Amino acid sequence: MSSIREPVVAGIFYPGSASALDDTLTRLFGGPASSSEAALESSVGLVVPHAGYVYSGPTAAAGYQWLATLGRPAWALILGANHTGMGRPISLAQEGTWRTPLGGVPIAAELAGRLVEAGLEISGSAFLREHSIEAQLPFVQFLYGEELPFVPICVMTPSLPELMRAGEAIVGAICDDPGVVVVSSDFTHYEPHAVAQQLDHKAIKQILSLDVEGFYRSLVGERLSICGGGAIVVLMSIARTLGWNRTRLLSYATSGDVSGDRSKVVGYAAISFSGGEHG
Residues 126 and 1 sit within 8 Å (Cβ to Cβ): no
pLDDT value at 86 more than 80: yes
pLDDT at position 176 is 76
pLDDT at position 277 is 63
> Would you place residue 80 in the very low, low, confident or very high pLDDT band (cuts 50, 70, 90)?
very high
Average pLDDT of 68-73? 94
Residues 267 and 54 sit within 8 Å (Cβ to Cβ): no
pLDDT at position 147 is 83
pLDDT at position 2 is 53
Count of CB atoms within 10 A of residue 161's CB? Answer: 8
CA distances in angstroms from 178 to 54, 110, 133, 174, 190, listed in the order given: 31, 15, 20, 8, 37
Share of the chain above pLDDT 90, in %: 92
What span, in angstroms and rounded, lies between the C-alpha atoms of 9 and 12? 5
Query: pTM value?
Result: 0.95
Average pLDDT of 167-182? 93
pLDDT at position 1 is 45
